[in-house]
A and B are shown apart, each in its own frame.
Chain A
């Protein structure tokens, strides 16, 4: 198996016999350590499992009072090494990975002496499963645990689905294994893990290992007794039903892993451990061979690597320091930008607008948001004072005179934006970066009349600005490297993952979403019932339905972008009558209440049945996306298709199992 894992950083299982005060025989203490610091956490590949296997054999052969496992500083173990999984070519090989883990971990579980896991730091996936194979667990208040498998397209198949529900009950196990994994891989901190019963004792980090060893000595001498609540098997049906609802809502059945995980959890009620783990072997072997997993690992890799080192970004050293920020406009978008810059850059931020009432409203909104954060304990009183003192409003653009970056978020009209930039350029330094948050206008045109068009760059954020992690950094015709580098540096400071895009209409995310929504609205205009169109894309498991997305974007914005795209590419982008009508009527949604099409829109959405069927619509949408991606690559909108996938993952929240989108389109034959 190790040939599939040529790059494995082998986690050594270092065995040492430790004398515990008050205990006659020594304790076999195994430290999991891959020889790197905490930034490269320990994982289990074939080599790591072999090392653990050997250490367990050695411990079992020794005359010891017990066996304990712990990790290197700050890390227990973070699960299987997935680096070689894409190279696994057959189900048999996949099955062997599953079985090797089970075989090794089983030795800890079957040990004739008491066994312990001292969870000193991060314990994820297979790391947590190893801990669950021990008789007893301590956990550091600084540690955290999670089962990210379902998030990645796998199941906790080294015993996790069988051991956890039998330890903490099925309902909590559903939360940890399914619900948390599908909620962007939410982690469980040590104190919460102890409360759930994942660990028997919660200890402070300062002397965690010493106290864990003392606790273990207490267990061995009988001074400490461990009480665990009995697991309530009658709770299974309700919890499994809840799990299936969660999976349906979050994945619409598009993730085979989530479904399999629930099946395994269901099995855990009555199955023997041997049967349960055999079922885990099968599930893992099947899932490792699924395209969904391969797409997911590709997507995960993009978010871990490419998102951190954006392709095509100029040398970081060229970036200029940003010590003051101007925001033109004081509307909601501008205010959100002001708040983000304020919180992350912690520099003075000035908002300007055309009248005092708007300025006051914008600054007031920022103050209010900061107070909410303080109220939730997210900002100390001192930090609140600092940030509130840093945000000001002005009617005069002269307030931007010493700003290093000014971003505009005014009305989406080219002439308005040109005028704003001209006014700003009149007061700022020659090197002040002028950024625009436009969704669809030409940034090159916006800069054309300026004395220094090279300082203009697009910084396209996604709503809600504080939440969505993507920033499209747009290089316009004249943008120079220093400006671009500054935009990337600021984006990173803002906590965003940046993707470099060319100044093409609607850039990446909005262009694809608009094309995609265009197919849906065209189908509805052609007579496909709204209810059918709404569910036609379900097999992809997108985070929201097309009409939910339309409501989130807002019909007026969607219309604006659609019109602009129609202007640019009339052959491919239409402007639906239905969408126009919605904007005219001021409707925020096609539904007046959940599942009921607004009666006032019924005349435009005829539901005549003459439009495409659900399958046809899905195929149309897939074809449209594939076509648009091909064109974007031809036009050089991005460096590579990976950037498109990354943008869809982070900007549209499209799921890992689609790999963003291109791996999915390839496997359905559209791309």
Chain B
């Protein structure tokens, strides 16, 4: 048989409002799988041209795949969402880059010709599933010094990154964090945050039903002074605080991917065109540096340079880890191309769900920016990895 590679497009993406994890969070009594179901149903409703039986795969990421995130959540969420029983699904895990990997994996299947249309997303209910729930690390990690014990504590890896790059100071991290909050607040006020949100009915036995329509984590009005005195829980007199890192959050995302010809056939909108991607491993003790080699790899494989990238959606697990990326590529801390609507420090980072948030946001920015041809979504990944995906703007008007 002859085979030709197909272009893969990001059609549409949605997410639940992100919540604060814990008993007081808005999703404390709402199931993780229900968050995913809401996203899938919303995607289908927003794209009625897509016959449900044309969906060839549902890949849903979760870092902790037990309880309400267990039972092969891609499959069960598809069934609960009312997709036809003929639509398969699977669960996928690459820690924080779960949804990103769900996208690259199903996109690869589309490019290869195995799928026409796929749903890819992720969920993390960190209130129900605190990071590291139920893990049983092999003792060889420590006895053979395969990794330092700090490698399994994400905050400690961020402190390690401050050690490696002493010029990335706590003050720079705090300033970046304030910028994230400010940019998010401005985007919210301008109506940029909201159209991609799926309202979620929130259960509370004590207060009755509520409706989540807005993100819970952001702290508008944050100042560098206010951040200066926060505790550094990972190290005495350290650098990493609750203010310059993403919080512990609950939320879900989902996106619709399609072969470009199929999208055209079905009349589906084209938000972005996938150019290429790269994942790489780094030392687990400094996992935050991961996006640097991952992006180098993605650029090398696509023949692009960093200067070709007009918009960056970088996951802000920790401010220092974004700063390390910007520093490496010679980009200013406050470069307007970077996270123009704020990032995870403001909006939150429900681990495995975040990759699709970055993509959804980039795709919406593309629509506003016909002057930009390429954009990049990247994130660091626990146990020492980075992921980077490069996208092309279909609205690009060409060289002027």
Contacts and interface: CB of A to CB of B under 8 A. Distances in A.
Contact of A33 (B80, B200, B208, B211): B208
Contact of A210 (B82, B199, B206): B199
B208 A209 contact: no
Interface string B30-51: 0000000110010000000000
Residue with the highest number of chain B CB atoms closer than 10 Å, among A18, A19, A207 = A207
B201 interface: yes
B203 interface: yes
Given A21-B213, A206-B81, A213 B199 contact: yes
Contact of B209 (A19, A31, A214): A31
Contacts of A210: 38, 198-201, 211
Contact of A31 (B38, B199, B200, B208): B208
B37 A29 contact: no
Interface residues of A, number: 22
Contact of B208 (A29, A204, A214): A29
B37 A213 contact: no
A70 B202 CA distance: 13
Interface string A49-80: 00000000000000000000010110000000
Given A33-B205, A213-B201, A206 B41 contact: yes
Contacts of A204: 82
B138 interface: no
A214 B206 contact: no
Nearest to A214: B199
Interface in A1-41: 14-16, 18-21, 29-31, 33, 35
A73 B210 CA distance: 13
B81 A18 contact: no
Contacts of A18: 209-211
Contacts of A70: 209
Contacts of A14: 204, 206-208
Nearest to A209: B201
Contacts of B207: 14, 16
Contacts of A16: 207-210
A19 B208 contact: no
B41 A207 contact: yes
A73 B203 CA distance: 9
Contacts of A29: 208-211
Nearest to B40: A206
A210 to B, nearest CB: 5
Contacts of B205: 33, 35, 72
A245 B209 CA distance: 45
A223 B279 CA distance: 47
Contacts of B211: 18-20, 29, 209-210, 213
Contacts of A33: 205, 208
Interface in B150-201: 198-201
Interface string A514-526: 0000000000000
A206 B208 contact: no
Contacts of B38: 207, 210
Residue with the highest number of chain A CB atoms closer than 10 Å, among B199, B206, B208, B213 = B208
Contacts of A206: 37, 41, 80-82
B26 to A, nearest CB: 11
Contacts of B80: 206
B218 to A, nearest CB: 16
A21 B213 CA distance: 8
25 contacts: A14-B204, A14-B207, A15-B208, A16-B207, A16-B209, A16-B210, A18-B211, A19-B211, A21-B199, A29-B208, A29-B209, A29-B210, A29-B211, A30-B208, A35-B205, A72-B205, A206-B37, A206-B41, A206-B80, A206-B82, A207-B37, A207-B201, A210-B198, A213-B211, A214-B199
Interface of A: 14-16, 18-21, 29-31, 33, 35, 70, 72-73, 204, 206-207, 209-210, 213-214
A-B pairs, top 8 by smallest CB distance, nearest first, are A31-B208, A14-B208, A209-B201, A18-B211, A16-B208, A31-B209, A210-B201, A210-B199
